[in-house]
Structure 1
């Protein structure tokens, strides 16, 4: 049995200024994303390192605004209506991947218009970068001691203090499982797949299938948000419900259904 190594969520404290590990994980993701994106840009015209820097600014805005608003709307609207100032306490967690994806999609649309590319061109370039943020973000969740899985007797369980039960119990470290599946493994799959030229939309489609499938599976071990619980059948969670459309759209993108239209889709200013 593992034991959760309690970690101070504050990495650096300089008087009233506090730098949280959760925020540092996001900075690390953008730094690695820029590095990997710059390498990819050398092989994929018309991309270059300057475009990658501009793209990451758009993506950052999409992730932060979309992720926060998505969590509020999808998971805990009543709490934030009662305490509006909580909206700004991002370091405490409360980010929705599905909301962030919507924000990133809007950011990609705007960036595609700016650079005179198709949406699929931008999406295919961005897709392999996203698992990097998922990997570091889930590690941030682990450091914060949030998003634990169910109580278990399995040797995979980790001993952690439960504030509700007021005792130490064994729980699945689903943050680490997601970091591995949605982060590291999905990154490797996409990086290998994207090495060769693909039809527009295929890399993005594979990402949607991969993330949606991995998230759907992990939800069976995760504990649903207390304010929502299970939506149906004592097992369907909000995370699974939001992941299903991703898989469906991903399958459509991986087929030839959209291939005839991708040549015509050109977003102009």
Structure 2
């Protein structure tokens, strides 16, 4: 059994002011996406400029935060927040949803595309490879916070998380960091390193994330307020991944089908 490191959630403390690791993970994620985006903008086939990337990052931050929060509210704990609506704005208490954040970023891509005269798929194909590093840092933040831990395991990699009882659990946050963050990034960065059919890079992101998250959910503890939501074994995370997988596969199929007909 592995020993869970006892992290201080505060990265820096100065009197009553605290800079938390979890918040800094969002900063690292945004910064990595912005820097990688500026690098990608230097490649001529992307039809982007560095100033456009600088403009888009603001849209993306709003989409991630607003979408992530509202996604958590409505996908995972709607009854509570409908009874305590002011708590919706208490983001410092935690509660963010990837799928909600994804919807927020898609809306940001759509609005930015209208302003910059780009299609949704064009924006999506450019942005998709920039997302996994943010997911990597976000999952590290979950691990540092000792939240979203996994199910019980008797494997030698199990950990006893604070507040999660005395039984060892899967460090599922690290599984997600590895698959959604590292593996998906390498796959997307390689695939998008040369021109691909329109929509295929976006499709690969949706398909890859959906499959990886669906698999890891078998090791992750379902949300206490929801439990299993379908078939006595499917979690909300898995339910939300199904349309991602279907849409991702469709976009890839459509992209290559259109290329063959061109």
Q: TM-score range by the shorter chain?
A: over 0.9
Q: Paired residue for 1:241?
A: 239
Give SS of 1:161's match. Answer: coil
Contact 1:157 1:171 in 2 (8 A): yes
Q: Paired residue for 1:10?
A: 10
Q: Paired residue for 1:267?
A: none
Q: Paired residue for 2:40?
A: 40
**Aligned residue pairs: how many?**
258
Cα distance in 2 for residues equivalent to 1:93 and 1:128: 26
Contact 1:63 1:104 in 2 (8 A): yes
TM-score (norm 2): 0.93
Q: CA deviation at 1:81?
A: 2.9
1:88 aligns with 2:86: no
Cα distance in 2 for residues equivalent to 1:132 and 1:27: 11
Q: CA deviation at 1:259?
A: 5.9
Q: Paired residue for 1:157?
A: 158
Question: Matches of residues 87-236 of structure 1 in structure 2 within 5 Å?
Answer: 87-163=88-164, 165=165, 168-236=166-234
Instruction: After superposition, give the CA deviation of every residue in 1:173-208 in whole Å (9 maximum; x if it has no partner).
Output: 000000000011000000000011001100000000
Instruction: After superposition, give the CA deviation of every residue in 1:158-185 in whole Å (9 maximum; x if it has no partner).
Output: 122345x4xx320000000000000110
Instruction: After superposition, give the CA deviation of every residue in 1:120-149 in whole Å (9 maximum; x if it has no partner).
Output: 110000100111110000001111110000
Cα distance in 1 for residues equivalent to 2:62 and 2:231: 37
Cα distance in 2 for residues equivalent to 1:135 and 1:160: 20
Contact 2:210 2:245 in 1 (8 A): yes
Contact 1:160 1:170 in 2 (8 A): yes
Cα distance in 2 for residues equivalent to 1:247 and 1:78: 28
Q: CA RMSD in A?
A: 1.7
Cα distance in 2 for residues equivalent to 1:89 and 1:16: 19
Q: CA deviation at 1:260?
A: 4.8
Cα distance in 2 for residues equivalent to 1:247 and 1:131: 16
Give SS of 1:11's match. Answer: strand
Cα distance in 2 for residues equivalent to 1:130 and 1:69: 19
Instruction: After superposition, give the CA deviation of every residue in 1:211-244 in whole Å (9 maximum; x if it has no partner).
Output: 0000000111111101100012221111000000
TM-score (norm 1): 0.91
Q: Paired residue for 1:57?
A: 58
Contact 1:199 1:259 in 2 (8 A): no
Give SS of 2:254's match. Answer: coil
Q: Larger % of strand: which?
A: 1
Q: Which runs of 5+ in 1 are unaligned?
A: 262-269
Contact 1:213 1:243 in 2 (8 A): yes
